[in-house]
Amino acid sequence: MILFTVILATFAHIVVASRTARATVLIPALALPLAGLGVNPAVLIMAATLGSGFCQTLMVSAKPVALFGGMEPPAFTPTDLMRLAAMLLIPFIGLLTLVAVFIWPLMGLGS
């Protein structure tokens, strides 16, 4: 359930441009219903919120990306962003999932 939440939250930036809107949509629509399957809701909420921070695939995904991508000459192109996102996607999902499963319980954030 945690991995599913992280993957959905990570890819949500393609559909919803605002990070705040992503978290606002994902928490009640994804994290809370999945908590009914036995996973601590705090862990799912944290995973959904942090997973929604993956914002470097599209030019409109984050304000700094849009700001520096719109410079003359452009600091990077949409192709550069896609390559960066492709390189960071698996490590981002893997690290967030590992932290949610192993580190957060040690810190007292659910199981």
Q: pLDDT grade, residue 97 (50/70/90)?
A: very high
- Provide the pLDDT for residue 59: 82
- Concatenating the DSSP letter of every residue in 15-37 gives T---HHHHHHHHIIIIIHHHHTT
Q: pLDDT grade, residue 50 (50/70/90)?
A: very high
Cβ contacts of 9 within 8 Å, gap of 6 or more: 22, 26, 30, 47, 48, 49, 50, 51, 52, 54
Question: Would residue 60 count as lying in a domain?
Answer: yes
Q: pLDDT grade, residue 111 (50/70/90)?
A: low
What range does the domain containing 31 cover? 2-106
Number of independent structural domains in the chain? 1
Question: Would residue 81 count as lying in a domain?
Answer: yes
Q: How many beta carbons lie within 10 A of that of residue 102, not counting itself?
A: 9
Question: Would residue 82 count as lying in a domain?
Answer: yes
Question: Would residue 44 count as lying in a domain?
Answer: yes
Q: What is the mean pLDDT of the chain?
A: 88
Asked if 45 contacts 26 with a C-beta cutoff of 8 angstroms, the reply is no
Question: Would residue 111 count as lying in a domain?
Answer: no
Is the entire prediction scored with pTM above 0.75? yes
- Provide the pLDDT for residue 18: 84
- Provide the pLDDT for residue 74: 79
Rounded (to 5) percent helix, strand, coil in the chain: 70, 0, 30
